[in-house]
Amino acid sequence: MTTTIEQPAAQASAKGIVVTDKAVAKIRAALAKEGISPEQGGLRLGVQGGGCSGLSYNIRFDTQPRERDRIFQFGDVRVFVDPKSFIYLHGMTLDYQETLMQQGFVFVNPQATKSCGCGTSFSA
């Protein structure tokens, strides 16, 4: 059974995941470049053990949700999160930043008690 939770892109929620408008636009463009249909596929966010702070973020594209995924809808873009990862990601905001030094997705996670300098791993 698939659970669907819809969140507006600009509204933060302690129980869901927020994706900023800038991140939604980048996800949409990347899905098109990968040839993944937004009606079927989406962005998969996850957490796995490892990294310099204990847990690391995992981000990739998926052609379809899995059976127990939570699905978040932001316009025509969907984000999939497995139940174990959702424990560490609920309340998180996914943003996209471009600066002179770097560009990429940024995880703003209130669950993280400490994170590494690169921003890709954390402790909860």
State the CATH number of the domain containing residue 65.
2.60.300.12
**Dist. CA 118–CA 17, nearest whole Å:** 21
Range of the domain at 90: 3-112
The tens digit of pLDDT for each residue in 43-87 reads: 999 998 865 657 888 999 999 999 999 999 999 999 999 999 999
Name the domain count of the chain: 1
Order across the sheet with 121-123: list the strands.
Answer: 3-6, 70-74, 77-81, 42-49, 55-62, 121-123, 114-115
Structural domain includes residue 118: no
Sole residue written with tokens 């998969």: 44
Structural domain includes residue 90: yes
Structural domain includes residue 72: yes
- In the prediction, which pLDDT does 100 show? 87
Identify residue 29 by its one-letter amino acid code.
A
Structural domain includes residue 57: yes
| Overall pTM > 0.85 | no
